[in-house]
Amino acid sequence: MKPIKLLSVGAALALLPTFAMAQEADGAAAAQTQFIFTTVLFLVGGFLVFWMAAGFAMLEAGLVRSKNVTTQLTKNIGLFGLASIMFWLIGYNVMYPGDGNWMIEGVLGSFGPKDIKTDIDAGGYSNASDFFFQLMFCATTASIVSGTLAERIKLWPFFIFVIILTGLIYPIEASWQWGGGWLSQMGFSDFAGSTLVHAAGGFAALAGAIVLGARIGKYKDGRTVPMPGSNLALATLGTFILWMGWFGFNGGSQLAMGTLEDADAVAQIFANTNMAAAAGAVTALLLTQILYQKPDLTMVLNGALAGLVSITAEPLAPSLFDALWIGAIGGVIVVVTVPMLDKFRIDDVVGAIPVHLIAGMWGTLIVALHTQAPLLDDTGEVVVIDGVEQTVGFAGQLVTQFIGFAAIGLFVFVVSLVIWVILKGVMGIRVTEEAEINGLDMSELGMEAYPDFSKG
């Protein structure tokens, strides 16, 4: 070998450690970049979902009568504070027990507060950012209950229910899927919470509405008496705030932002989320014009929200056209089911049950069209035929989706019903007839009502 070649080989060998160190440094830098971007995604998504709390507050304040506005606002700020404390104290650990920390494997996680400072890296992102992001979903579940039971429920029994819902009920059922529990192992899919958050809140609200009963004068002589809200401008503002916050709700649920693919996925989720909301609103607008010869603003607002709930179970896989018709069916659901509830004399002040429970069911079931779990053999391995991984198919996934929805619905409804009945027997959950007529702002807070802007 010539001296120059020997020298070149020697130089290359001498530089090998340097190259290896450079590659290692590049890998570490890439990991840090992914950590930072995913953590920022959780934080940005989290405060967008936090802003939804303001949306719920404004929506409910606008849809209740003026004599109950301040009580409704008090409920919303109180439930968020209680949810924040209970999710740290009990809920986060129950929802995410990790490997080997289940009290009942796949069903019930461990109790006690989790110290988010013990592990800065929870798997490619800050543990604290994950806690913050997941807390917002927990609080959202409680917000759904608030609107349904407005104008006749006592303040403190409601807060007691919120404590149990956010500390135990929501974390337990959410752990079955997002915590790696039995539904996740079965192949159930709920990307951002059509069932785990929205339908669960709807089932808890339905149980409360049944036990609580309708408002005085809501159903009279076989007909439903309209009770217009105090301020539809506030209700509309609340809907737009919720629509905006939903981008964090669904987009943040991608749970990663460190690659081009993840960034593109978040962008697609944003686009699909917006399309579904728009389709739900327009569908409700057109349908109320056809059915009632004039548009109904509250139906249109709830149509947009139902479109959002409908796309939440799978906001990434559908095309924009798919998102459009999925959201549109959500709008149909609202217009059809709101009067159906009245036929059963179930008084839902803001329409949360049709929006969150019924549209949540629709969104959960239609997941089977776009997302199907792998088909496993008896050993738990994915079945591969001609190099292609097999899935359970549409019908198999549809059955799985229904089982997941039914299991969570049954659990939340029955437990909530029991709690509402106990609260009713122990301390009473409904204000007196006189207090309801005069308004909860006076009976619960000792103050006069705000002016009723709906009267001009």
- Cα–Cα separations (whole angstroms), residue 354 to 191, 334, 389, 402: 20, 6, 38, 18
Rounded to an integer, what is the distance from CA 92 to the centroid of its chain? Answer: 16
Contact 77, 56 (CB under 8 A): no
222-241 mean pLDDT: 95
How far apart CA 49 and CA 174 sit, in angstroms, is 17
Distance in angstroms (rounded) separating the CA atoms of residues 236 and 197: 22
For residue 388, the cross-strand partners are: 385
For tokens 């009067």, the residue is 339
- What six digits make up the tokens of 130? 């994950």
Residue 220 to residues 28, 126, 215, 226, 436: CA-CA distances in angstroms? 69, 55, 11, 11, 17
Tokens 């996740």 found at: 184
pLDDT of the residue at 227 = 94
125's tokens: 């992102």
Which among 351, 64, 340 has a CA at the least distance from the CA of 202?
Answer: 351
Q: Tell me, what CATH number does 280's domain have?
A: 1.10.3430.10
Q: Contact at 8 Å (CB) between 192 and 313?
A: yes
Report whether pLDDT(15) > 60.
no
How many domains would you assign to the chain? 1
Q: Provide the pLDDT for residue 161.
A: 98
Residue 224: its H or E element:
strand 223-224
Nearest of 212, 214, 194, 200 to residue 341 by alpha carbon: 214
Q: Which two tokens stand for residue 389?
A: 């991984």
pLDDT in tens, 180-190: 999 999 999 99
For residue 121, count CB atoms less than 10 angstroms from its CB and return exposed for 0-12, middle for 13-18, buried for 19 or more: exposed
Tally of CB atoms within 10 A around 279 = 25
Residue-averaged pLDDT of the chain? 91
Confidence of residue 16 (pLDDT cuts 50, 70, 90): low
- pLDDT attached to residue 453: 52
SS3 104: strand
**How many CB atoms within 10 Å of residue 153?**
27
Q: Is 90 exceeded by the pLDDT of residue 292?
A: yes
Residue at token pair 């690659």: 259
Lowest mean pLDDT among 12-21, 93-102, 110-119, 335-344: 12-21
In the numeric block, the tokens 């990663």 are attached to 256
325 pLDDT higher than 90: yes
Contact 194, 363 (CB under 8 A): yes
CA distance 142 to 198: 10
- The tens digit of pLDDT for each residue in 162-212 reads 999 999 999 999 999 999 999 999 999 999 999 999 999 999 999 999 999
DSSP 302-323: HHHHHHHHHHHT-SSSS-HHHH
Mean pLDDT of 433-448: 91
Residue 328 has pLDDT above 90, yes or no: yes
- The residue segments making up the domain with residue 176 are 3-455
In 10 A of CB 189, how many CB atoms? 22
Q: Which pLDDT belongs to residue 447? A: 78
Which H helix or E strand runs over 384?
strand 384-385
For the chain, helix (H) and strand (E) counts, in that order, are 18, 4
